[in-house]
Structure 1
Amino acid sequence: MQEFLEVLRRQAVHFGPELARTAYARGLAVTQKDGTTRPIPVTATPVILDAAEIRRRATLSAHLASATVKMTHAVLAGAQRELVLGGLSPLERELTERTFANVTRLATTRVDYFVDSRPRALELNATIPAMQGYSDIAARTFIEVVARHFRYPEKALHAVIAANGSNALALYRSLLDGYAAERDGKMPETIALLCRRNDAQITEQRYLCERFREFGADADVVHPDEVSGDEYFEVRGKRYDLVYRHLFVRRLEETPAPWVQDFFGTVPGRKAVLLNPPASPVEVKTTFALLSQALVEPALAEAAGLTPEELEAVRSSVPWTRPFRHGPGVGPDGEHLEDLVARVAAEPQRFVLKRAWDYGGRAVYLGRSVGTQAFEERARAAYGTVPTWAELCERASTDPAGGGFVVQQVVETTPEEHLLCEESGVTSLRLHVDYSAYASVGLAKQPAWGGVCRGSTSEIVNIVGGGGVLPLITTEVAQKLLMAWKAL
């Protein structure tokens, strides 16, 4: 689809500002603590993939998500449970110990990839795996704005948007299927999307709520301080059957909400069905590292009950990843290591260190970025000084905060030229682009999940911390838009 991308590059100056304005108006934005918003830039240059490849990546993510949940259960039931529990906050730990044995369904998870010759899974998100709304806003707005600029027939536009798929619709169906599984085939009459006031992604939650209403649900965005009820999940006298949680458990420690904390303590929920339940240990990167380790330790794979399909998913996509501790092990090339920390310290270009339980990319250290401003800012924020790579490795190997660190083999990525759109104009930038694919766990059938793509000038890609969203569109949709341009 190079021809289509070249057309977009020439025309972006004409439609780019409108693309940015419309996407921002629909909710592609970050909300600040004071309630103000700032736009998340969107690109005029999309990621284009065959629909079959999007489905393949969703299937891969489903296997990885299932395997990660199994590994989490196995670790928490075994002698090494502190590997996971040790990094959790007090409330996260309490809720995990009370509920996780009953966690069998997660309506949505998200696996983040870099793509070289194939997708390489960097980590799994299960706490609040967001961007279903952001991804739909970016793709839908791109298709609409470009189609109208290319004079595509208005009456046919809805069919093109539908053909591209919708993560909001997949999320909705996963919630309904999960509810039906818990309530003997019944459907929920009311849905609550639970998040903080002025959550950084509240515009996305409002967008999802609007889509759920379009799909036929009686849905509302609600906040922890609004919830009450002796027998039901109630807000201002209205009962909700199903709760979709977009709320970090740690936020309840910052701003206590005893009713919600108690509600989170029962899975799948008594006063309402809770999807997704608190699932912090699934996202702890140590669990993901143990999946990688299970490839060379059959007993570990057997203890978790990993299927051949799940093991193949790990083998084909997960880069070598390990809990970062002194001691012997098996290296990324299958070689015996006398001491893992010494090996990583000796080859900074090859490895990245990540705090096991953290989010937002705040404690991610690329060995090859030593000496850069980004590396120094992260190191100084964590340790008060700027250590050498060897010093950082030594400190990280014994740092207990967040459950310590994991080490992962770096996935090579090449920055791509993209056109970043803002209301003021269009800017050409070289961006590192990732690909995230959604999946459900514990449902009889996976909904038609798609993906979302982010771009950043940094190799550590995080949407709230900077960067933009790239529309993800299918080859079929791109071809239709190109044909419309050629017909002008």
Structure 2
Amino acid sequence: MQELIDVLRHQARHFAPELAQLAYKRGLAVTQSDGTTRPIPITATPVILDAAEIRRRAELSAHLASATVKMARAWLAAPDAELLLGSLSPLERALAERTWPQAVRLATTRVDYFVSGGKPWALEVNATIPAMQGYSDIAARTFIEVVARHFRYPEKALPSLLTLNGSNALALYRALLDGYAAERPGQFPDTVALLCRRNDAQISELRWLCERFREFGADADIVHPDEVSGDTTFEVRGKKYDLVYRHLFVRRLEQQPSPWVEDFLATVPGKKAVFLNPPASQVEVKSTFARLSQALAEPELAEAAGLTPVELEAIRASVPWTRLFRAGPTTGPDGTKLDDVVAEVARNPARFVLKRAWDYGGKAVFLGRSAGTVPYVERVTAAYGEPLGWPELCARAASDPTGGGFVVQEIVDSPPEDHLLVEPHGTVLPTSFFVDYSAYASVGLSKQPAWGGVCRGSMAEIVNIVGGGGVLPLITTEVASKLLLAWKAI
């Protein structure tokens, strides 16, 4: 759809101010601890994919997420479970130990990819708070509406155009309903609570989700840990909730303890209310993801986890070589035997990336090929208090137990793309963006809802929304074709 992209580049300055203002108004923003908000930039140039490819990536993510849940469960049942549990904070560990045998159903997960040569390569699985369903919908919906009106698309046809593009908020809602029905056969949740901390960084996204849930027919509210009580029910100000959607990092509870909520999170799928996205740190830890890759070379790992042939093929097709990063032998990316993985990585910085096994926001991610650059030096100094060259960093990381140590992953080359970034006041800025693709999936449901994806862009290779960057609208080829046709009809 290069023709549409060319038109958008020519017309962007006309519709960009409305695009930025409306996206921000709807909730495409990061909320600071004091309650103020910072807009998340949106691009005037979308990512365009065939609907079939979006479905294929969602299906791939479903297999990878299922495999990762199985691998975490197998590891926690194994004699070396301490290697995984030792990655977690005290409360995360306590919850994992109490809930992992019952945590077989996850309403929503997210697999993050880099796309290289048209092929998606999975970098990690998100299972604690796999957010951005709201952000993705805000970006796509706002882009479609603003561009369609600028192109004089028939107003009465806009709802069908939006429906054609899909909705992650709707997929999330259906996943929650399906999970509820599995736990309470024949029943429907009359009330839904979206549980988060006050002034959560993504509170505007949660407000968007809450509004959509209400549109879908739920009596939904945003609630906070200090408001919740109830001896036998999940209750806020006298109102009882049947279903709880958690958007609350366990580590936030360690900073501001809430014994009632901690006890609630420790029962899966919940007694006081149905609870379908329990803390799943053991699933998201990158060491678990590394074991998926390792299972291709060590069939006993795959057998212990009960991985299916379909899941193994998904791993083979999309997971780059990933290993725990500690001295010792392993199978290398090309299948040959390595005497020492640390020495191999130290010798070949351009080929590898180091990632702390359990951390948020990409703070402890180090690209070997960026060694010596300002971002590399800043990250290393923040982590270790001094600048370190690549061999020295490898030695330090290999012996660092914090967060379960590090994993090493073969680099995925995803060249930057040219996009038009819309700044908050509406100025259009040509930008070279590294773009990732994230696809949602459910685990343990009888069927997958119609999940889509979300695309983020950053001028740095380590892409993170809260730390900077923007959201790129993801639209289908069919929607793009209709917009282009409207432009040609003017």
Asked whether the two chains share a fold, i.e. TM above 0.5, the reply is: yes
Alpha-carbon distance between aligned partners in 1 of 2:444 and 2:19, rounded to the nearest angstrom: 38
C-alpha contact 2:165 2:475 (8 A) present in aligned 1 = yes
Matched-pair identity in %: 75
Moved more, 378-387 or 347-356: 378-387
Partner of 2:398: helix, strand, or coil?
Answer: helix
Partner of 1:102: helix, strand, or coil?
Answer: coil
Q: What's 1:46 paired with?
A: 46
Q: What's 2:438 paired with?
A: 436
Alpha-carbon distance between aligned partners in 1 of 2:309 and 2:252, rounded to the nearest angstrom: 38
Alpha-carbon distance between aligned partners in 1 of 2:58 and 2:351, rounded to the nearest angstrom: 28
Q: What's 2:371 paired with?
A: 370
What are the superposed Cα offsets for residues 52-87 of structure 1, whole Å, 9 maximum, x if unpaired?
Answer: 000000000000000000000000000111221011
Partner of 2:297: helix, strand, or coil?
Answer: coil
Q: What's 1:10 paired with?
A: 10
Q: What's 2:235 paired with?
A: 234
Which 5+ residue runs of structure 1 have no aligned equivalent? none
Q: What's 1:270 paired with?
A: 271
Of 435, 444, 447, 1:445 maps to: 447
Alpha-carbon distance between aligned partners in 2 of 1:225 and 1:376, rounded to the nearest angstrom: 40
1:381 and 2:382 equivalent?
yes
**How far is the alpha carbon of 1:217 from its aligned partner?**
0.2
Q: What's 1:73 paired with?
A: 73
Moved more, 370-379 or 31-40: 370-379
What are the superposed Cα offsets for residues 150-179 of structure 1, whole Å, 9 maximum, x if unpaired?
Answer: 000000000000000000000000000001
Q: What's 1:293 paired with?
A: 294
What are the superposed Cα offsets for residues 156-215 of structure 1, whole Å, 9 maximum, x if unpaired?
Answer: 000000000000000000000001101123111100000010000000000000000000
C-alpha contact 2:192 2:220 (8 A) present in aligned 1 = yes
Of 471, 474, 479, 2:473 maps to: 471
Q: What's 2:84 paired with?
A: 84
User: Is the alpha carbon distance of 1:372 and 1:185 closer, same or farther for their aligned partners in structure 2, counting shifts above 3 Å?
Assistant: farther
AA aligned to 2:160 is: A
Alpha-carbon distance between aligned partners in 1 of 2:80 and 2:122, rounded to the nearest angstrom: 24
Alpha-carbon distance between aligned partners in 1 of 2:436 and 2:39, rounded to the nearest angstrom: 20
AA aligned to 1:2 is: Q
Alpha-carbon distance between aligned partners in 2 of 1:36 and 1:233, rounded to the nearest angstrom: 30
1:153 and 2:154 equivalent?
yes
Partner of 2:30: helix, strand, or coil?
Answer: strand
AA aligned to 2:178 is: D
Runs (4 or more) in structure 1 with deviation over 3 Å come to: none
1:130 and 2:104 equivalent?
no
What are the superposed Cα offsets for residues 268-309 of structure 1, whole Å, 9 maximum, x if unpaired?
Answer: 101001120111100000000000000010111000000000
Q: What's 1:358 paired with?
A: 359
What are the superposed Cα offsets for residues 66-115 of structure 1, whole Å, 9 maximum, x if unpaired?
Answer: 00000000000001112210110000000111111110100000000000
Partner of 1:114: helix, strand, or coil?
Answer: strand
Moved more, 74-83 or 52-61: 74-83
Q: What's 1:482 paired with?
A: 484
AA aligned to 1:360 is: G
Aligned residues, how many? 488
Alpha-carbon distance between aligned partners in 1 of 2:45 and 2:83, rounded to the nearest angstrom: 42
C-alpha contact 2:399 2:405 (8 A) present in aligned 1 = yes
AA aligned to 2:309 is: P
AA aligned to 1:191 is: V
Q: What's 1:337 paired with?
A: 338
Alpha-carbon distance between aligned partners in 2 of 1:12 and 1:421, rounded to the nearest angstrom: 9
AA aligned to 2:452 is: G
Q: Using structure 1 for the length normalisation, give the TM-score.
A: 1.00
Which 5+ residue runs of structure 2 have no aligned equivalent? none
Q: What's 1:202 paired with?
A: 203
**How far is the alpha carbon of 1:424 from its aligned partner?**
3.6
Partner of 1:101: helix, strand, or coil?
Answer: coil
Partner of 2:100: helix, strand, or coil?
Answer: helix
Q: What's 1:171 paired with?
A: 172
**How far is the alpha carbon of 1:381 from its aligned partner?**
1.1
What are the superposed Cα offsets for residues 100-158 of structure 1, whole Å, 9 maximum, x if unpaired?
Answer: 11101000000000001200000000000000000000000000000000000000000
**How far is the alpha carbon of 1:378 from its aligned partner?**
1.2
Alpha-carbon distance between aligned partners in 2 of 1:82 and 1:45, rounded to the nearest angstrom: 47
